[in-house]
Amino acid sequence: MGVSGSGKSTIGRALAEALDLPFIDGDDHHPEANVVKMSTGRALDDSDRAGWLKILNKIAMEYSKTGAVIACSALKETYRKILSENLEEECRWVILIGTYELILERMKKRSSHFMPSALLQSQFDTLEMPDYGIHIDISQAPSLLIKTLVNQLRSQ
Q: Is 8-150 a CATH 3.40.50.300 domain? A: yes
**Which residues, at least 6 apart from 119, have a Cβ–Cβ distance to it below 8 Å?**
4, 38, 41, 42, 43
**pLDDT at site 41:** 79
Which amino acid is residue 73, in one-letter code? S
146 touches 15 (CB < 8 A)? yes
**pLDDT at site 50:** 94
Cα–Cα distance between 51 and 43 in angstroms, integer? Answer: 16
**pLDDT at site 111:** 60
**pLDDT at site 63:** 97
**pLDDT at site 109:** 76
**pLDDT at site 28:** 93
pLDDT in tens, the chain (156 residues): 999 889 999 999 999 999 999 999 998 999 999 888 888 878 888 999 999 999 999 999 999 999 999 999 999 999 999 999 999 899 999 999 999 999 988 888 766 555 566 778 888 999 999 999 999 999 999 999 999 999 999 888
